[in-house]
Amino acid sequence: MYSEVSCAIVSGIESILVRAETDISPGLPVFDMVGFLSSEVKEAKERVRTALKNCGYNLPVKRITVNISPASIRKTGSGFDLPVAVSILAATEVIRSAQLKDLVMVGELGLNGGIYPVNGVLSMALAASECGKHICIVPKENSFEASLVPQMTVVGVSHLTEVVAYLNEGIECSRKRNEAPTDEESACQKEICAEDEPEADFAFMNGQKLLRRACEVSASGRHNLLMLGPPGSGKTMAAKCLPSILPPMDKNEQMELSKIYSVCGLFAERKKLLDKRPFRHPHHSISAVGLVGGGQIPHPGEISLANGGVLFLDELTEFRRDTLDMLRQPLEEHQLTIGRSSGSFTFPADFVLVAAMNPCKCGYYPDLSRCRCTQNEIDRYFGRISQPLLDRIDICVEAPRLNFSDITKKADNESSADIRKRVIKALAMQRERFKGTPIRFNSGIPNRDIPLYCSLGKKETRFMEEMYASLGLTARTYHKLLKVARTIADLDGADAIGLSHLQEAVCYRGLDSKDWEGVA
């Protein structure tokens, strides 16, 4: 007696369909599971055996062999419990095998036959749809998540007996994606949408005009941003406001971000596609694996959870230097590839890096009436950040200490909604400019294409020649200035980079090790 049930395994944030095959034949009574299995998958044998017994299904006194194929892929997770149990029931003819052809199932079994949720169901349902499967049997808690996949019939179950009843008698509570959600789900979505509304808005931020403008330029060209200033100057608030001026996410971005959160087990809290730009704010004590992802079984880190949004590193110098240096590849390639003996895993990491730091250890330099740091202490403080990481930050802006009037006056500040309109127009110009090329934003212009996209007139060339000599620029900082100037020109709706655009870009000159004292 042989049966086969389709299931899925998460690899990175994508999923691969696999098969749970069961063969029951005469021989010594034994229950074997094979197929390059991790320890938690091997433990499914006892969970399945006990769950079947407690549901009234006795295993035959024969040789039972379960193979999760293909054997070349390592199987991890507890989502194989349900397909293994159903495969055994089909092999013993409790379930009709013909019902298993067009469906995929996943779920963890309790010893009483209960079915519990697993991570990555959205990714699994997408993989099933791409492979021509039309029905997904998933834990009830994961059913709405799976139903976000178009043209997929989702059956949410909470007990093994419900699966048997559905497969044998068609008793089920399935709902296709285009059907209206229940009143309970609608109320839940409305409540969650209200919670997701961004609270931070530039309309509530007084003063710091240069910092506000730098955030606008950063969002318009996807330039990484470093804010330098004393405590309480508004750096954190500006970072929290930045996602509110980024353009809305399209469906592809929403689906990719939702898959990441699903794999991390964070999707069930939302019960809808994530349609807000993420803002991730990890503590400086975070490990390298927590920040960039990894582990024995690689999982996404904070940089992937910030995909399409903002990764804010407050108190940048308090992070471990080796941890920060692991950001270098993702900042260049907008993705992270982790190699393990079981395979290679790729996670998206297309985010805007926003960092904040004090000008010295006490935070008050160059106010010598309050700062007592020596020059050597300041140098050591900045030395905690490597130059290769600084090379990937295009904009550095100072956030000076706010005075009393800035804090207390009722200013008519420009709202994030108004700023976002300009950002969207600038990004539209970039889409048109880079059409047919792999370049997406001004920050990604390769140095070889600088003359093509950032050409200068005679007056602008003379100005940059003077700046190159007086400021001691390098080829690297010169190219960064031109990219930032290109973004500023886009915000003005200008086809060519003008002198005023270059002058503003010089104000945002990236931080170099030899410039620390001058910027502070």
- Same domain, yes or no: 134 and 224: no
Confidence of residue 511 (pLDDT cuts 50, 70, 90): low
Q: Residue 174 pLDDT more than 50?
A: no
Of 409, 444, 479, the residue at which a domain comes to its end is 444
Confidence at residue 517, expressed as pLDDT on a 0 to 100 scale: 44
83-141 pLDDT per residue, tens: 999 999 999 999 988 889 889 999 999 999 999 999 999 999 999 999 999 999 999 99
By residue range, what is the domain housing residue 376? Answer: 202-444
- pLDDT of 31 higher than 60: yes
Three-class SS state of 184: helix
Indicate whether 151 belongs to any domain: yes
**Closest residue by Cα to residue 299 from 76, 37, 72:** 76
Structure tokens at 354: 């926003």
Residues 6 or more apart in contact with residue 271 via CB below 8 angstroms: 144, 145, 185, 188, 189, 192
Domain count, the chain: 2
Asked if 115 and 260 sit in the same domain, the reply is: no
Phi, psi dihedral angles at 103 (to 5 degrees): -125, 160
pLDDT band at 305, cuts 50/70/90?
Answer: very high
The pairing of strands 395-398 and 225-228 is: parallel
- Say how many C-beta atoms besides its own lie within 10 A of residue 423's C-beta: 23
Residue 372's pLDDT is what?
A: 82
Structure confidence at residue 377 (pLDDT): 84
The SS3 call for residue 241 is helix
* Structural domain ending residue among the three candidates 128, 160, 176: 176
- Decide if pLDDT at 510 tops 70: no
* Most distant CA pair in the chain, distance: 90
Residue 257 lies inside a defined structural domain of this protein: yes
Last residue of a domain, one of 397, 414, 444: 444
Residue among 16, 173, 165, 31 at smallest CA distance from 91: 31
pLDDT at position 206 over 50:
yes
Q: Is the pLDDT of residue 184 over 60?
A: no
pLDDT at 190: 46
Would residue 250 count as lying in a domain? Answer: yes
Rg (CA), the chain: 28
Burial zone of 182 (CB within 10 Å; 0-12 exposed, 13-18 middle, 19+ buried): exposed
- What CA–CA distances, in Å, run from 253 to 81, 275, 334, 396? 32, 8, 14, 28
CATH number of the domain within which 323 lies: 3.40.50.300
Q: Which two tokens stand for residue 306?
A: 């910030």
Roughly how many angstroms between the first and final C-alpha of the chain, as a whole number? 76
Q: Are residues 328 and 249 in the same domain?
A: yes
Contact partners, residue 40, CB within 8 Å, separation at least 6: 76, 77, 78
Residues 94, 169 contacting (CB under 8 angstroms): no
Residues 171 and 207 in one domain: no
Show the tokens assigned to 13: 């944030």
Give strand ranges (E) for 358-474. Answer: 395-398
Q: In this structure, are 217 and 104 located in the same domain?
A: no
pLDDT of residue 411: 72
The alpha carbon of 39 is separated from its chain's Cα centroid by a whole number of angstroms, namely 28
pLDDT tops 60 at residue 182? no
Per-residue pLDDT, averaged over 383-401, amounts to 89
Mean pLDDT over 300-320 rounds to 95
Would you tell me how many other CB atoms lie within 10 Å of the CB of residue 223?
23
Dump pLDDT digits (tens) for 407-439. 777 778 899 999 999 999 999 999 999 999 999
Residues 283 and 409 both lie in one domain: yes
How many CB atoms sit inside 10 A of residue 210's CB? 15
Residue 44 lies in a domain: yes
In a domain, 495, yes or no: no
Whether pLDDT at 50 is above 80: yes
Any domain includes 115? yes
The average pLDDT across 497-510 equals 91
* Residue that has been written with the tokens 């006892």 in this structure: 46
Same domain, 252 and 143: no
> Do 134 and 152 meet the contact criterion of CB atoms below 8 Å apart?
yes
Task: Name the CA dihedral angle for 89, 91, 97, 100, rounded to a multiple of 10 degrees.
Answer: 60
CA distance 303 to 306: 5
Q: How confident is the model at residue 196, as a pLDDT?
A: 52
- What is the rounded distance in angstroms from the CA atom of residue 180 to the CA atom of residue 163? 24
Instruction: Please report the pLDDT score of residue 396 as a whole number.
Output: 93
Q: Is the residue at 345 inside a domain? A: yes
- The 10s digit of each residue's pLDDT in 475-502 is 888 999 999 999 999 999 999 999 999 9
Closest of 253, 300, 286 to residue 120, by C-alpha: 300
pLDDT at residue 514, as a whole number: 46
Q: What is the pLDDT of residues 352-371, one digit of tens each?
A: 999 999 888 887 777 777 78
Q: Say if residue 114 is in the same domain as residue 235.
A: no
Shared domain check, 277 and 169: no
**CATH label of the domain that carries residue 86:** 3.30.230.10
The pLDDT of residue 197 is 53
Q: 315 and 404 share a domain?
A: yes
What gap in Å lies between CA 432 and CA 484, rounded to an integer? 18
pLDDT at 473: 86
Which residue from 215, 108, 222 is spatially nearest to 159, judged by alpha carbons?
108
- Count other Cβ atoms within 10 Å, centred on residue 334: 16
Is the pLDDT higher at 240 or at 271? 240
Same domain as 49, residue 86: yes
Mean pLDDT of 235-252: 94
Compute the distance between CA of residue 214 and CA of residue 212 in angstroms, rounded to an integer: 5
113 with 260, same domain: the answer is no
- For residue 196, tell me if it sits in a domain: no
Taking 90 as the threshold, does the pLDDT of residue 459 lie above it? yes
> Is the pLDDT score of 21 beyond 50?
yes
Average pLDDT rounded to a whole number, residues 183-203? 56
To 5 degrees, how large is the angle CA 46–CA 47–CA 52?
Answer: 100
- Give SS3 for 28: coil
* 269, burial (CB in 10 Å: exposed 0-12, middle 13-18, buried 19+): exposed
